[in-house]
A and B are shown apart, each in its own frame.
Chain A
């Protein structure tokens, strides 16, 4: 009788433990769709990832919705790009989320054991020499759009793996295993993409916003100017006239429009200069069929090559 009782208790305890394990998935909030993808890959079944910004949004203008507050309130970790790129929404959300694992911070955006900053170890480009609003909406720590650089994917993945391991050290080996598998896939893609972009090296281009520095570094494209007068400051007629002149003088044949920006102005510029337009995404899911970091990076490169009249080979 006693043995049967013990067996029943052990079965119940086993079931309860299994149920607890099933519910123990880390609640992770990621600020952008490509971070949702990479965190899901690295975390696997051990994490439940929710996103904030939609790919079609301008990351500088994401509206901090109260529904985001409830996600952050109950999260174990928040994965973010950092370098103040999420300044419009992450600090005000963390300010009211009441989550002791992640608090708002004026410099690092987020401080606490649940903060996973993906910018650690990124070779940051375009650090401003002069911090003044007269220079537009600057990011004091440098250009934060490294998520557009395909070769920064491994750094993002490593940061996420390290962050998840810190939050849930019991599953460190699982995260590292997932990371290894993901990096193998990414490395193969990077090798392929490096071959693709060789014809772009040295080609001159302009973009709407100054968010293509990392894409430029990977492709070899030389971005000479932007449609915006200064970062975050809308184009003016005088600036556009000067840009037309500059593009003609420098032989710029490519206009890169991030999908969230005005298409008419780019079209006008293309008509004035004869340059071709490549529409790219600034985040995953910005364009159809780009829900993962790999698909997003690949689509951007294909669109650049197509507009430049080159074939991926």
Chain B
């Protein structure tokens, strides 16, 4: 009996501890609820690849027939990677493979600050400069198959540039964004400067842009932009192989160039239609003031002022169909009265949000007697894999 009593007394504290440690049903339910809530709110990415950048790819191809000469055109496979770098910086790169030369090229490799004070943002590296409205769109983002001839001719295609940009958002109810930039040059196909060679700061291109936006009621809005890209000097050396002169002349004075632009966008977007219903009317006018050079001899010719621009209207008719027209007028930068007029009609069919077909017809005419009219018909097919967006600016 005494042995049993001692045994019971020894075990009693153990049972008591076990009783004390056991949580109540209410506590257990609460703990379970907390765990469940954490699981339900947990991010989808839980693997080691969670910190990898977002990756996307756009594939863009077309079949083009120009004056009865047809061509399957591998326009681009555009790979983008994008991620925050640290609390202060994010970065992205856009690598493009195409049938152009070079076949693989870095279109963008950009760093951008994310937490500067005073509403400032700095971006640098290889970037698409903030000039104009449509010039900084990637090819597959354009509302038409081919970039308007005015942008190809005056900007040099996309506004690709190696340099630095600072932008400032005005802290007000009205959206006003101001941008200043300095670049080696601006324009992917702009051959005025070799981006790989060093030069004096006065041979850089400097940009200033101001843009604003205003809602007019719930369904209408207007957007206005004004910009100028100024290159103070160029150094151009005469091509003696063509001229035959024993000593090459070098031209530096009066070589400045100013490319100015004004862009206007009107949007009708009924709130019940989302992004799939409405009208966009976009217009952009460019003015080029430049000391020109002979294309063969590289000798200075004269200062020429010329204008170019386009205007387009696109109607969004629902989930799938987007017809539109675009008119482009481009004066020759050497001979301003030589005007190329291009009239195009296009019809876009969005199969889904990530797949698109587009049919376009255009006629181009130069106002020089005897110049044949160019008729082009094109069919474009574009698909997007993964996360492939070019941000708020290119909306």
B175 at interface, CB cutoff 8 A = yes
Query: CB-CB contacts of B136-148 with A at 8 A, as 1s and 0s?
Result: 0000000000000
B174 CB-CB contact with A under 8 Å: yes
1/0 per residue, CB under 8 A from A, across B295-322: the answer is 0000000000000000000000001100
Give complex CA distance A121, B54 in Å. 27
Chain B contact residues (Cβ within 8 angstroms of A): what range?
A: 35 or more
In the complex, the answer to whether B275 meets A61 with C-beta atoms within 8 Å is yes
- Neighbour of A57 across the interface among B213, B271, B395, CB < 8 A: B271
Name which of A40-48, A67-75, A194-202, A249-257 contacts chain B: A67-75
Cβ–Cβ contact A57 & B171, under 8 A: no
A106 and B54 form a contact (CB under 8 A): yes
Residue B239 is within 8 A (CB to CB) of chain A in the complex: no
How many of A's residues come within 8 Å of B, CB to CB?
43
Known: A54-B218, A54-B271. A64 touches B395 (CB 8 A): yes
Residues of A within 8 A of B215 (CB): 65, 67
| B246 interface hit (Cβ, 8 Å) | no
Asked whether B392 lies within 8 Å of A93 as measured between CB atoms, the reply is yes
Closest Cβ–Cβ distance, residue A101 to chain B (whole Å): 11
B139 to chain A, nearest CB (A): 21
Contact of B272 with A by CB under 8 A: yes
Q: Given contacts A65-B221, A124-B40, is CB(A98)–CB(B274) below 8 Å?
A: no
Using A67-B215, A232-B352 as known contacts, say yes or no to A98 and B391 having CB atoms under 8 A apart. no
User: Contact: B391 with A88, CB < 8 Å?
Assistant: no
Decide yes or no whether B153 CB sits under 8 A from chain A.
Answer: no
In the complex, the answer to whether B174 meets A70 with C-beta atoms within 8 Å is: yes
CA A60 – CA B276 in complex, angstroms?
Answer: 11
CB of A173, distance to nearest CB on chain B (Å)? 24
* Among listed B41-49, B62-70, B356-364, interface-contacting one: B41-49
Contact among B45, B169, B173, B276 with A98 in the assembled complex (CB-CB below 8 Å) = B169
**Pairwise interchain contact B119-A98, C-beta atoms closer than 8 A:** yes
A98 to chain B: which residues have CB within 8 Å?
A: 116, 119-121, 169
A24 contacts B by Cβ under 8 Å: no
Within 8 A of B (CB), among A93-122: 93, 95-96, 98, 100, 103, 106-108, 119-122
Which residues from A are CB-within-8-Å of B250? Answer: none
Contact B43 A107 (CB under 8 A): yes
Asked if residues B275 and A233 are in contact (CB atoms below 8 Å), the reply is no
Check A56/B271 contact, CB under 8 A, given A64-B395, A65-B221, A92-B392: yes
Q: Is the CB of B119 within 8 A of A234?
A: no
99-123 of chain B: CB within 8 A of chain A: 114-116, 119-121
Partner of A60, one of B43, B45, B274: B274
Contact A122-B40, Cβ < 8 Å, known A70-B175, A73-B169, A74-B171 = yes
Contact B169 A233 (CB under 8 A): no
Complex Cα gap A98–B221 (Å): 23
Q: Which residues of B lie under 8 Å from residue A61 when comparing CB positions?
A: 274-276
Write the A256-277 contact mask toward B (1 if CB under 8 angstroms, else 0): 0001100000000000000000
Q: Would you call A289 an interface residue if the criterion is a C-beta within 8 Å of the partner chain's C-beta atoms?
A: no
A116–chain B nearest beta-carbon distance, Å? 14
B169 CB to nearest A CB, Å? 6
Find chain B residues with CB under 8 A from A54 CB. Answer: 218, 271
Interface residue? B376 (CB, 8 A): no
Contact with A along B32-63 (1 / 0, CB 8 A): 00000100110111000000001000000000
Whether B353 lies near A137 (C-beta < 8 A) is yes
User: Is A62 located at the chain interface by the 8 A CB criterion?
Assistant: yes
The answer on a CB contact under 8 Å between B276 and A233 is: no
For the complex, give the distance between the alpha carbons of A178 and B175 in Å.
34
**Which residues of chain A in 115-144 are interfacial with respect to chain B, using CB atoms and an 8 Å cutoff?**
119-124, 131, 133, 137, 140-141
Let me know if A237 is at the binding interface, CB within 8 A: no
Q: Beta-carbon contacts of B207-244 to A below 8 Å, as 1s and 0s?
A: 00000011100100101000000000000000000000
Considering only residues 20-74 of chain A, those with a C-beta below 8 Å from chain B are 54, 56-58, 60-67, 69-70, 73-74
Given contacts A54-B271, A92-B392, A100-B115, contact A66 B223 (CB under 8 A): yes
Kindly list 9 other residue pairs between chains A and B, CB separation below 8 angstroms, not including A65-B221, A70-B174, A74-B171: A63-B395, A64-B395, A65-B215, A67-B221, A70-B173, A98-B120, A98-B121, A119-B41, A232-B353
Task: Provide a sorted-by-A list of 5 A–B residue pairs whose CB atoms are within 8 angstroms.
Answer: A64-B392, A64-B395, A121-B40, A233-B352, A234-B319
Task: Please name the 10 residue pairs, one residue from A and one from B, whose CB atoms are nearest each other, closest first.
Answer: A61-B274, A66-B213, A66-B175, A107-B43, A54-B271, A140-B44, A56-B272, A92-B392, A58-B274, A61-B275
B→A interface (CB under 8 Å): 37, 40-41, 43-45, 54, 114-116, 119-121, 169, 171-175, 177, 213-215, 218, 221, 223, 269, 271-272, 274-276, 319-320, 352-354, 389, 391-393, 395
